[in-house]
Structure 1
Amino acid sequence: MRTSIATVCLSGGLVEKLHACSDAGFDGVEIMDADLIGAMESPEEIRALCARLGLSIDLFQPFRDLEGVADDVFADNLRRAEAKFAVMERLGADTILVCSNAGTATIDDDDVAAAQLGALADAAAKRGIRIAYEALAWGRFVDDYRHAWRIVQLADRPNLGVCLDSFHILSRGHDPAAIEEIDGDKIFFLQLADAPALDMDVLSWSRHHRLFPGEGDFALTDFLAHVLRAGYTGPLSLEVFNDTFRQTDVVRTAGHARRSLTWLADRTAAANGWTDDLLGEPQVARGIDFIEIAGADLTAVDETLERLGFAFGGRHRSKRVRLWTAGEARIILDEQVRDETPRLTGIGLMVDDADAAVDRAVALGAPAAFRRTYAGEQELRGVASPDGTVVYWSDRPADTSWITEFEGGSPGSGACESGVVDHANVGYRWQDFDEAVLFASSVLSLTTQSSADVPGPQGLVLSQVMRTEDGVVRLPMNLAPPTAPVPDRHVAVRCDDVVAAARAARAAGLDFLRIPENYYDDLAAQFDLDPDLLAELRELDLLYDRDGSGGEFIHFYTPTIGGVFFELVERRGGYDGYGAASAPVRLAMQRRASASA
């Protein structure tokens, strides 16, 4: 698999972009005309730099508004093209992207378009240059790849072929199956982009909201399979116009982009039973092994967990680390850091083959995480996620795992004996969110469940749930508004009787997040609740939700400690959500508590 990326995907100047592409492991680049125009370096210097970096220049682009015009306009278009051909010769590029005319076309005639493209191809042939003709989704007369292919066939020049762009094809709802009817040798270039399902004009959608593969709603594995079955042998290239990516760190974004192509190629091969599976079979998590919270002083977290009914699982025999358990829910407290603020720093997952999971993650570009291990201790291998949170994998049963390394534990109160980690809620800055979604889908093999906009006191918070199909691992991911701080993270533990757990925790002296009286007045209006249940919810600061099938969700929150807090939940009758209707109240009360602290 050869990989390429358009320089328009990245922030910075052209030289910065080229270095980042090389560092990320790309084989080649598409050089955008605008990037070259804005560079101080000459085409010859850019050519030499690419050679030193091991990057091929796979495409020069774009050339716009060529065909479907009157003769005098076309003559000037040829003049423009000759000037660009001369630049390409200096650059060492042999293929140029020609977009279907979207601005100046006045003649809706395939014969005219073919004749003019043929004349352009003849001029390019004298310099050894190929023309890749692309149907823009908003082209004036040509907006369908099948139409573009018919014109290329009509022109019949050996150095004239098509460029296929997943966005232009899938955004218009065109069936990509007909790609297999195109001669593979005439598919001169392939550009890939994902995108969310949006109801807006296609030009704005394209210019601002494209995503890297695996982050949107396009069926890209099916699309790529059609292209490869047609016989295409060129590079898989990314062309992603996205306002966020063009503002974020160029090195990190290039690595993010490269991971997306590896994931796409791997999933396409696996879906079609091809032997060149790049990464091995994904290791789907069988459960959450542990959650790690780190901080220089975690005494307040100890007190909260004890009052919640967690059992003290002991101290690690060689590290400043403690374990708390509630049934199968395990919380590790790590004081081997200098950061005073407690925060969620690690997630352990149980899989069938831990080494395979780590090897696959590293092949996807995730950096391996170092964890000091002494003789007789389990080597927990893991990788760092884009925000630094470490994901560990284990395939050992509990009686032979890292759990046996903790000594001096004691039983808990019994209120949470049935506990299991229901979900871990993680928050991200606006510029990191798309990369985090790709990490969750590609490295953790999670799928998208749902998303919702939650009104908060500092703007809308987008909550995107990533999970295993069976729901044993759930990661709601919160996107903070651009001007708001990153949302605090929290761990939700599920138990059989959250009301009893709340009463026990209250009796043990735990302060809950206070819920306003107005919330319970609203509950009474929304649901026909038993008066005794409503009174109980009000007394204990419990929140409540009910789904359309009658499933119920009862939960409460602890105060925030540094950057982390806890939630105890109970799911009744198959309820599968997260109490989204109560989230605005929780956010408002947390902000109030923070302001008064």
Structure 2
Amino acid sequence: MRTSIATVCLSGTLDQKLAAASEAGFDGVEIFEPDLIASPESPEAIRARADELGLSLDLYQPFRDFEGVGPDLLEHNLRRAGAKFSLMNRLGIETMLLCSNVGTARSGDEQLAATQLRELGELAERFGVRVAYEALAWGRFVDDYEQAARIVRLADHPRIGVCLDSFHILSRGHDPQAIETIPADKIFFVQLADAPILSMDVLSWSRHHRLFPGEGGFDLAAFMGHLVRTGYDGPISLEIFNDTFRQSDAASTAVDARRSLRLLEDETRAWLGRSSRGRTEQMTARPLPVVEPPADINYVELRTDAIDEMRTLLAQLGFAAHGRHRTKSVELWSQGAARMVLGRPETQPPPPTVAGIGLSVSNPDAALRRATDLFAPEIHRPEGPGDESLVGVRAPDGSEVFFGLEGSTEPKWVREFPVPDQPGAELVERVDHINLAQPWQHFDAGVLFFHSVLDLRSQPSMEVAAPVGLVRSQVLRAADGVVRIALNLVPSGAHDDAILPQHIAFASTDVLALARQARERGFHPLDIPANYYDDIEARYDIEASLLAELKELNVMYDRDEAGEFLHFYTQAIGTVFLEVVERRDGYEGYGALNAPVRLAAQYQQRRDAEGVPA
């Protein structure tokens, strides 16, 4: 599969965009006209720079408002087109994108449009270039790809074909199956974009909310499967209009883009396998290494300067101290199968507080191969004599993900720490979920990373009200629900650490007993306002004695059709806090209705600590 990316997807100058695309491993790029116009380099210099970087220049775009016009305007449009064709010759680009008319068309007559496209084809013939006609979802008369293909067929010119854009097709709810009726030699170009499923006008949706494949809600594997069946073997290009991407680091955005296409290639292969019709496709879709989702969260590593406070907190919650690693400046705390590795930051800038996650997998080497095949950078755990070999990769936010061998016994690496005195009754079983606050530029990349690398499935995103704005949250989880990772998007303009510290939630067999024991050890939970308990008393039929105990211990409560959820929060220590949860009778949620109360309580806690008046 030949890969391409439109320069509009990336931030920076045109030269920086070309360099980022090349470094990420793209085969080619689309030149977005405003990027060329703003460049100080000549078309010839840009062509030479692309050659130097090993990039083909695949498309010049966009050319607008051509067809469906009167004779005078047609003459003007042909003059415009001739100038662009000449420019394309200087750039060495063979294909131009023609968008369906949105502004100047006065007729929807398909035969008129075809006749005018044929004239454009004759002009293109003189310059040795091609025109790919695209139906914009908001085109004045042409807004459907089947209609665009019909007009191209009527034009009947070898220099006129179609451009298929997944956003324009899927955002309007058009069925992509009819792509298979278009001859491959008439599909001149293909552009891909995913997007969240939103209820808004399609133009705004397109201009600001497109995403890379795998980050949104479109079924792009089916779209690609129908395309492959045509025999098309040209570039597969990303055209993503997204405000965040155009402000983010171009190099990391380009890597995320390549990761999205690599995942889509694998998903397309799987779709074709499920929907085989005994046809031989021209485009090769390569499989990724097959891995099972992780069996559990083996450990969580925290890097914090507030290590003394974290030790105290873990001891209050009943965790046992193993002491310091025999060769590394980290220590281990455990309770049940929940393991916390603590250390101080050793780099500048420091890593996220949740600096590492260890996952138990059936085949660590296969998990690593899949991750690196998806362009995740491999990292190596420093090993001393006798240390277990762990393999891992770096996530987009800078944290580390390591793969350890799945097993029913204690992981071998635990033996690298001293054996602690065993605590009393262990009320914590394991890590229930990890909640990672994501800077604005990493949220969508984080969703794609955990979905593609770990084969975790995205749950519907939601927004939660906080005192400083709306917090977007998205959970990714394994099918059995044992591994759950929630990503939270810090509100725009908010101070990341103050508003959304990261947190780790532990699964408990008895939250109330643990909360009471922790209090006896000096634990002070996050204070929950009395108004909250008045509300849940009205909302749920809760026994009076249970309600009183919840209120006394600052334990929160939720209920769904399956069961009940009891949970409490610690106060934040630096940029992290802990949660203990108890799921009863198959409850699967996270207490979503309680999240605004928790966020407000944390906000108030920080203001109180800073001495800010209420």
TM-score range, shorter chain: over 0.9
Which of 337, 346, 350 aligns to 2:346? It is: 337
Corresponding residue number in structure 2 for 1:130: 130
Are the structure 2 counterparts of residues 90 and 550 from structure 1 closer, same or farther at C-alpha, using a change threshold of 3 Å? closer
Instruction: Return the offset for 1:31.
Output: 0.3
Rounded to whole Å, the distance in 1 between the matches of 2:424 and 2:468 is 38
Match of 1:209 in 2: 209
Q: Which 10-residue stretch deviates more, 266-275 or 240-249?
A: 266-275
Within the alignment, does 1:556 sit opposite 2:563 as a pair? Answer: no
Task: State yes or no: 1:265 paired with 2:265.
Answer: yes
Deviation (angstroms), 1:401: 2.1
1:528 equivalenced with 2:541 (yes/no):
yes
Q: Assess, with a 3 A threshold, how the Cα gap between structure 1 residues 174 and 249 changes in structure 2: closer, same or farther.
A: same
Distance 1:469 1:277 in 2: 25
Q: Distance in 1 between matches of 2:185 and 2:291?
A: 33
Task: Write out aligned runs for 1:294-313 (5 A).
Answer: 294-296=303-305, 298-313=307-322
1:22 is matched with 22
Query: Which segments of 5 or more consecutive residues in structure 2 lack a partner in the other structure?
Result: 274-280, 610-614
Q: Is the 8 A contact 1:315 1:408 kept in 2?
A: no
**Aligned position for 1:443:** 453
Q: Out of 382, 390, 410, which is 2:421 matched to?
A: 410
**In the alignment, which residue of structure 2 is the partner of 1:473?**
483
SS at 1:107's partner residue?
A: coil
1:393-435 Cα deviation digits (max 9, x unpaired): 111534462122121312123242x511110011112222111
Of 152-161 and 84-93, deviating more is: 152-161
**Does structure 1 conserve the Cα–Cα contact (< 8 Å) formed by 2:380 and 2:390?**
no
Residues in 2 aligned to 1:43 and 1:338: alpha-carbon distance in whole angstroms: 43
Kindly state the Cα deviation for residue 330 of structure 1 after the two structures are TM-superposed: 1.2
Per the alignment, residue 286 of structure 1 pairs with 295
Q: Which residue of 1 aligns with 2:330?
A: 321
Give distance in 2, aligned partners of 1:336 and 1:594: 23
In the TM superposition, residue 364 of structure 1 has moved relative to its aligned partner by 1.0
8 A contact 1:288–1:350 mirrored in 2: yes
TM-score, scaled relative to structure 1:
0.97
**Aligned residue identity for 2:330:** V
1:526 and 1:254 mapped to 2: Cα distance? 48
2:4 is aligned to: 4
Question: CA 1:85 to 1:336, structure 2 compared with 1: closer, same or farther past 3 Å?
Answer: closer
Aligned residue type for 1:405: E
Letter in 2 for 1:387: D
**SS of the residue 1:75 aligns to:** helix
- 1: CA distance, partners of 2:415 / 2:345: 20
Give CA deviations for 1:516-555 in whole Å, capped at 9, x if unaligned. 11111112111121110010001111111111x1511111
1:371 match? 381
**5 Å matches for 1:165-176?**
165-176=165-176
**1:450 match: secondary structure:** coil
**2 CA distance for matches of 1:373 and 1:92?**
52
Q: Secondary structure at the match of 2:127?
A: coil
C-alpha displacement of 1:473: 0.7
Q: Provide the C-alpha distance between the structure 2 equivalents of 1:239 and 1:8, rounded to a whole number of angstroms.
A: 7
Paired residue secondary structure (1:143): coil
Write the distance in 2 (CA, Å) between the matches of 1:394 and 1:94: 49
8 Å contact kept, 1:342–1:564? no
- Counterparts of residues 42-191 of structure 1 (less than 5 Å): 42-191=42-191
Give the aligned partner of residue 595 of structure 1.
607
* Residue identity in the other structure for 1:568: V
Q: What one-letter code is carried by the residue in structure 2 that aligns with 1:520?
A: Y
Matched, 1:545 2:558: yes
Return closer, same or farther for 1:357/1:342 CA change in 2, 3 Å cut-off.
closer
- Letter matched to residue 355 of structure 1: D
Give the C-alpha shift of residue 295 in structure 1. Answer: 2.7
Kindly provide the amino acid, as one letter, of the partner of residue 346 in structure 2.
Answer: V
Match of 1:382 among 365, 387, 392: 392
Contact map agreement 1:171 1:202 (CA 8 A) in 2: yes
The Cα shift of 1:570 comes to 0.4
C-alpha distance after superposition, 1:482-513 (max 9, x if no partner): 11122111110011111111111111111111
Q: Is the 8 A contact 1:297 1:342 kept in 2?
A: no
Corresponding residue number in structure 1 for 2:278: none
Tell me how far apart the structure 1 counterparts of residues 385 and 562 of structure 2 sit (CA, whole Å): 52
Counterpart AA for 2:355: T
Aligned to 2:276: none
Distance 1:276 1:34, change over 3 A: closer
How far the C-alpha of 1:102 sits from its partner, in A, is 1.1
Write the deviation string for residues 316-368 of structure 1: whole angstroms up to 9, x where unpaired: 22212211111111111124626799921111111111111111111111111
**Matched residue, 1:483:** 493
Unaligned runs of at least 5 residues, structure 1: none
Conserved 8 A contact 1:498-1:570: yes
Provide the rounded CA distance (Å) in 2 between the counterparts of 1:336 and 1:323: 16
Q: Cα distance 1:133–1:276, how it changes in 2: closer, same or farther (>3 A)?
A: closer
Contact 1:311 1:413 in 2 (8 A): no
Partner of 1:237: 237
How many residues are treated as equivalent by the alignment? 595
Q: What CA RMSD, in Å, does the superposition of the two structures yield over aligned residues?
A: 1.6
Q: Are the equivalent residues in 2 in contact too, given 1:512–1:558 (CA < 8 A)?
A: yes
Shift of 1:277: 2.9
1:10-63, CA deviations, whole angstroms, 9 ceiling, x for partnerless residues?
111111111111111111000011111111111111111001011100001111
Once residues 419 and 396 of structure 2 are traced to their aligned partners in structure 1, the CA distance between those partners, rounded to angstroms, is 36
1:511 is aligned, of 516, 519, 524, to 524
Q: Distance in 2 between matches of 1:55 and 1:336?
A: 40
Are the equivalent residues in 1 in contact too, given 2:351–2:398 (CA < 8 A)? no
Contact 1:306 1:412 in 2 (8 A): no
1:288-308 Cα distance to aligned partner (Å, 9 max, x none): 111111134512211111110
How far, CA to CA, are the matches of 1:172 and 1:341 in structure 2? 42
In structure 2, the residue matched to 1:575 is 587
CA distance change for structure 1 residues 396 and 333 in 2, over 3 Å: closer, same or farther?
same
- Amino acid of the structure 2 residue aligned with 1:351: V
Deviates more, 1:233-242 or 1:294-303: 294-303
User: Is the Cα–Cα contact under 8 Å of residues 312 and 412 in structure 1 kept in the other structure?
Assistant: no
**What is the TM-score when the length of structure 2 is the normalising length?**
0.94
Q: In structure 1, what residue type is equivalent to 2:140?
A: R
SS state at 2:459 partner: strand
2:291·2:363 contact (CA, 8 Å) conserved in 1? no
